[in-house]
């Protein structure tokens, strides 16, 4: 079934394909090279049939009618339990939770050829969690897949539907829905998408430096295993000696970025590190005993700059780690290091992302990289993270906000004026929100004047949202602080 409803610039698309026009399949470990594009089950399963096996399903809806620049306002997926499954069980949590994932598929697949051995890759970015079932034939209705559908429309070259799989693939757990091949058409998976075809893109780059209220840095060393060093002026990866004792030194930094605004897509992330001409160490960058190549890795557990030390250092991941090549100068700056994949991981796993770890690839004595930290006396040498991203915005919302609120000057770096439409205001609240979604300014009980002056001189450079809450109404405008 294909249905389009139009309302002004908004379009609602209802997709509930059947066997002839749908694309779904299931794959399983005990038949690793056997396709099953005609299965009547849309299933995530781990069970036994003489042997333990794991089963996953794939589905792809045809989104080609949606313009690539469209803003997905809402997207809801409904899955219907299959009362006539050929399996001995329906939804089951016999051995534990049957919580499952929907993940975006990033490689092409063929319904009649896909099997366990050639299954396509997936991404955890904006994955959907389906909670444990409460009954054996429970329908899962109106699952919010808005952000995933936005990803699919915006990045069609790496979007080929969804993979359905258990979060824990241990036997005697399952979720079993009807597929698009089920004989009852009302049970086919259904996707309802509402989008705005008049959306526009805004491209933005912001620069973030570590501040007291946004991230921090520290270094740790194994010869002082219980001593924190939050105020070091070095951001360092080092293996050296002090007297007759060898030691290893690493550094940690957190810029405090784990989220971006809604409908925002990261284009690139670049980190710049500056050589420290006033380090307290005997050496600067050094390859005295061999190459001083270093890693930047994602820190995966929390830490406090005032208490972190060698003995309690946080965990870290080697996934998408970035290698800094051997230095060619003792005070070499490393500018615009591409850390995009690391930042994507941080945005994908915010609950296990706590900044960057700097360490030598080979932690053998007489090798080092010594940069300035955020505590260096020269702020021009502080580590700098540059994020460039695109935000997709409904033109109708832009026009609506423009009519109700103006902000000038823009860009700004001092006093700005927020000009409101001249109507009576109720419970007026003004918030200034930074790129991380945090309120950096909030003013309440404002007078009823249509013009509000605001001092933004203390804000860091970058993109902010000014939002006015007026009773049940909301208006917002972007402003650049330069």
* Domains, the chain, ordered by start: 2-198 (2.60.120), 205-391 (2.60.120), 394-481 (2.60.40.3080)
Would the pLDDT of 374 be above 80?
yes
Q: Where is mean pLDDT largest: 212-216, 346-350, 357-361, 452-456?
A: 357-361
Contacts made by residues 257-260, CB under 8 angstroms, sequence distance 24+: 257/208, 257/215, 257/343, 257/346, 257/347, 257/385, 257/387, 257/435, 257/436, 258/346, 258/347, 258/350, 258/353, 258/436, 259/347, 259/350, 259/436, 259/437, 260/347, 260/387, 260/389, 260/435
Positions of E strands within 106-233: 122-130, 140-144, 162-166, 173-178, 190-196, 200-209, 216-221
At 9, the pLDDT band (50, 70, 90 cuts) reads low
Would the pLDDT of 8 be above 50?
no
Q: Confirm whether pTM is higher than 0.75.
A: no
Confidence at residue 266, expressed as pLDDT on a 0 to 100 scale: 83
Lowest mean pLDDT among 19-28, 63-72, 92-101, 302-311: 63-72
Would the pLDDT of 214 be above 70?
no
At 460, the pLDDT band (50, 70, 90 cuts) reads confident
Lowest mean pLDDT among 108-122, 326-340, 364-378, 447-461: 447-461
Would the pLDDT of 402 be above 50?
no
CB 3, CB 62: distance < 8 Å: no
CB 113, CB 33: distance < 8 Å: no
At 398, the pLDDT band (50, 70, 90 cuts) reads very low
Over range 111-125, report the average pLDDT. Answer: 94
Would the pLDDT of 343 be above 70?
yes
């Amino acid at each position: 079934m294909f249905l389009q409803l139009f309302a002004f610039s908004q379009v609602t698309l209802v997709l509930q394909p059947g066997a002839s026009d749908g694309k779904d399949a299931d794959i399983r470990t005990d038949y690793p090279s056997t396709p099953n594009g005609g299965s009547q089950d849309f299933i995530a399963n781990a069970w036994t049939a003489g042997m333990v096996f794991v089963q996953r399903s794939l589905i792809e809806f045809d989104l080609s009618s949606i313009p690539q620049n469209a803003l997905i306002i809402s997207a809801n997926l409904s899955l219907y339990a299959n009362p006539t499954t050929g399996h001995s069980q329906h939804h089951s949590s016999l051995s534990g939770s049957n919580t499952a994932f929907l993940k975006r598929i990033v490689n092409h697949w063929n319904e009649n050829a896909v099997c366990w051995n050639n299954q396509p890759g997936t991404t955890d970015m904006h994955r959907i969690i389906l909670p444990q079932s409460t009954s054996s034939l429970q329908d899962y209705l109106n699952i919010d897949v808005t952000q995933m559908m936005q990803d699919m429309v915006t990045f069609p070259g790496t979007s080929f539907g969804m993979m359905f799989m258990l979060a824990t693939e241990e036997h005697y757990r399952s979720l079993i829905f009807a597929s698009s091949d089920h004989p009852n058409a009302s049970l086919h998976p259904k996707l309802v998408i509402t989008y705005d075809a008049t959306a526009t893109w805004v491209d933005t780059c912001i620069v973030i430096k570590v501040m007291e209220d946004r991230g921090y840095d520290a270094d740790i060393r194994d010869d002082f295993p219980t001593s924190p060093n939050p105020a070091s002026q070095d951001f360092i990866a080092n293996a050296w000696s002090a007297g007759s004792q060898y030691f290893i030194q690493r550094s940690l930094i957190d810029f405090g970025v784990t989220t971006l605004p809604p409908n925002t897509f990261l284009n690139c992330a670049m980190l710049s590190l500056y050589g420290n001409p006033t380090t307290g160490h005997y050496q600067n960058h050094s390859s005295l005993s061999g190459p001083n190549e270093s890693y930047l890795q994602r820190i995966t557990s929390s830490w406090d700059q005032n208490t972190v030390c060698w003995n309690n250092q946080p965990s870290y991941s080697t996934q998408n780690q970035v290698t800094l090549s051997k230095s060619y100068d003792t005070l070499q700056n490393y500018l615009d290091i591409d850390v995009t994949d690391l930042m994507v991981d941080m945005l994908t796993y915010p609950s296990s992302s706590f900044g960057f770890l700097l360490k030598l690839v080979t932690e053998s004595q007489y090798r080092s990289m010594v940069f300035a930290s955020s505590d260096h006396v020269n702020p021009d040498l502080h580590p700098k993270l540059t994020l460039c991203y695109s935000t997709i915005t409904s033109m109708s919302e832009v026009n609506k906000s423009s009519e109700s609120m103006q902000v000038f000057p823009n860009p700004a770096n001092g006093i700005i004026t927020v000009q409101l439409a001249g109507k009576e205001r109720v419970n007026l609240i003004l918030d200034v929100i930074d790129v991380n979604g945090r309120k950096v300014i909030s003013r309440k009980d404002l007078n009823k004047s249509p013009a509000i002056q605001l001092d933004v001189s203390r804000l860091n450079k970058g993109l902010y949202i000014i939002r006015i809450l007026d009773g049940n109404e909301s208006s917002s405008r972007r402003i650049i602080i330069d």
